[in-house]
Amino acid sequence: MHKPVGMPENMTTEQSKDPLSTPIHHNTYPVMGMTCAACAVSLERYLGSQTGVEKVVVSYPNQSVYVGFNIEKITEARLSEAAKEIGYELLLGDSAKDGTKAALRAALTLQKLKSKLLVAALCTAPIFTLSMFFMNRLPHEGLIQLLLSLPVILFAGRNFYTSAVKKLKHKQTNMDTLVAISTATAFLYSAYQVALYYLQTPNHQHNHHHPHYYFESATVIITLILLGKYFEERAKNRSAHAINELLSLQPSHATVVRNNQEISIPSSEILLGDFVIIKPGERIPVDGKVRSGDSHIDESAITGEPLPAAKTKGSQVFAGTINQQGTLKILAQKVGSQTLLSQIVARVEQALGSKPQIQHLADRISSVFVPTVVILAVASALFWTLFPLNSPTGFALTTFINVLIIACPCALGLATPTALTVGIGKGAKQGILVKDAQALELASKLTDIVFDKTGTLTQGKPEVEALQTFPDGKTLESNILEVLYTLEKQSEHPLAQAIINHLSAMNIVPTPIQHFTNLPGKGITAELRGSTYKLGSWDWINAELAPHGSLEHRAIAEDLLNQAQTVIALCNESRLLAILGIADSIKKEAKTTVSALQQQGYRVHMLTGDNPQTAQKIAAQLGINSVIAQALPNTKFDFIRQLQSQNRIVAMVGDGINDAQALAQADVSFAMGTGTAVAMESAGVTLTGGQISQIPQAIVLSKQTLRTIHMNLLWAFGYNVLAIPLAMGVFLPFGGFTLNPMIAGAAMSFSSISVVLNSLWLSKRN
């Protein structure tokens, strides 16, 4: 089945799941023009006010917006127009999600910022030197500073003013508003003083003191903020590096077979059903199955496993993995946005666009912060104008500028999203895909962890755990295994494949069969080389052999049954030939993981649809005391709700369709990457390697991320609480402590940089 014409490659899984069933589309768009975290709040609020928009989440660090919108009420083009109305640009179309183009856009943005910073620095340096060391010593000092400051105001700082004007038109404010008002006030006041000075008579100019200019405040503030933005942009690009790494795993071109010829085409043009030729060293561009060839593939980017996986005919392969040895011919089963790699990228981006409760608090504070700061700035200026209290000349204007500059909410707005970006990116590298940032926050507060059994704690497929043959002088063990293999090759029983897989490495050649009979609920009978054989459940074979059955054989079967294994037996007309124990074996890491979680204080529960005997045996081997067997999907859902009613924070770990309901209800949900798509869609966290040993890693990552967020918020709040009173001049009467506007600008920039650096440090922690 080919992809429907017109379906965009950047469509998320929610949209592509069933595009005809609902008019609500969910998409992530890159955004150009955001200069601070408050911009994200402004864009989010404005887009959210548009008719037809159901949900908007803007990620400033990721420079993207996640939108859920009704396509019958609003179009992508209208969303783009709305963004432009307040100074931003949404990038639409498939090319917007291209990793190479995204990198080029980021490089171009950084280059433009660097150019503006260079112009600002070159013009600001002489202004700063004149005002600090040669004040009132040079002729035409004010005019020189005015001319030097024009490039800074009109070119380097132009975006601050245009952004502020657009926001004010729509009754919105952001950091640019504070910078624009403060620097424009300083510049216009100083320009007025220059004009006033030259309008005076020469004698009046000579006999009076030179006016005090604030050109250095305006230009130094813009320069320092641009410097902070430059470093912030570099750090932000690094924090989003995980997504770029994932995008780079997709090869740009591939070799496919068309009309019996091998041709090279862009990977985006591969169709479902194409045969793709993968040579040694090449990355695989699609999800599919090997049709011919043998090789080993490095799947570490997808599963996190360092050892290459052997691939033969029929093996499953994934996009983004690397073929190491032989040439493979692969049938493309999933292409473009359908591949596991694309789903990983989509989930990471969606997680970056989601917000935990702690971020909503920061957003609410940021939304009222700018108007509050403007009020405080005006109030402080009025106070010092009406009550000078022996303050320096122009102190009222200085406090006005200081409050506007130092209170910029950058650090506050950056505190949560930068830490989340780094934490989610770090998780992606470890094979822990965080779909919902809320899950990353709550994982650090868990009290209970509920496991599904099959496919989660166990392998999810039956395997032969025990095989015991009973040869005699007439029948050798090799003859018994040959009969067993031959019969199972003909069987349609679900457990037959487990036995075939177990015996296939022995190079057994099947024997021709006569008179094969399938007995539902019992087993099979067949005639080989003149002898009749029966293969089936232990109860049936034991009854067929009675009363000639051996007590020793019954003891062996009972022992296997007590180990929660399914017992199958093989016999001929007169005696028992073999007993097999088949079970869904426990994963190697299951016991150590459960034990580690229990030692850390978590209550561990196991829910399974299996019978009570098997459930209890598995639970006993794992050391789990809380067990519910024969659990239907509603049973699992109700159990989690019951725990939540006791104020417990519950995690659910599952892999199947029957777990989806419980996964959606749990506070934090972990889905096995080897499980069903429905389970992964319902879960907040997907473990790509399907290893529950990644759960403690995810919890540690959650705690580290939340600790980083708290540190960032503490720094941001503490900084503003201490800095704003100082900027208002509150401490002037008590020791004469004041703040220079240039120092205020530097401190504001440093606070933002420190928050970003603290977040980046998260990626270095173990």
Q: What are phi and psi of 317, to 5 degrees?
A: -130, 160
Q: Residue 576's CB: how many other CB atoms inside 10 A? A: 25
Nearest to 564 by CA among 608, 532, 526: 608
Q: How far apart, in whole angstroms, are the C-alpha atoms of residue 391 and residue 387? A: 9
CA distances from 301 to 296, 532, 533, 729 (A): 14, 52, 49, 55
DSSP designation for 586:
B
Q: First CA to last CA across the chain, in angstroms?
A: 45
How far, in Å, are 156, 238, 292, 371, 540 from residue 116 at the CA level? 5, 21, 57, 28, 85
106's tokens: 């980021």
Q: What SS3 string covers 209-269?
A: CCCCCCHHHHHHHHHHHHHHHHHHHHHHHHHCHHHHHHHHCCCCEEEEEECCEEEEEEHHH
CA atoms within 13 A of residue 641's CA, in its CB half-sphere: 10
d(CA 516, CA 493): 14
Structure tokens at 644: 């939540």
In b/e form, how buried is each residue of 179-197, taking b as 16+ CB within 10 angstroms? bbbbbbbbbebbbebbeeb
* 98, 452, 610, 667: the active-site residue: 452
Which tokens hold the place of 302?
Answer: 């997808």
Strand partners, 288: 317, 332
Q: CA angle, 742 as apex, 739 and 743 as ends, to 5°?
A: 50
Relative to beta strand 523-528, strand 261-266 is unpaired
Report residue 495: phi and psi, to 5°.
-85, -10
**Catalytic residue status for 448:** no
Q: Which residues pair with 329 in a beta bridge?
A: 277, 292
Residue with tokens 């009969």: 483
- Nearest in space to 222 (alpha carbons), one of 122, 108, 105, 369: 122
HSE of 525, CA atoms in CB hemisphere, 13 A: 12
Pairing mode, strands 448-452 and 603-607: parallel
- Tell me, what DSSP letter sits at residue 389? T
How many other β-carbons are positioned within 10 Å of the β-carbon of residue 686?
Answer: 24
CA trace torsion 443, 444, 450, 453 (10° rounding): 70
- Chain center to CA of 402: 38
For the annotated catalytic residues, the residue numbers are 452
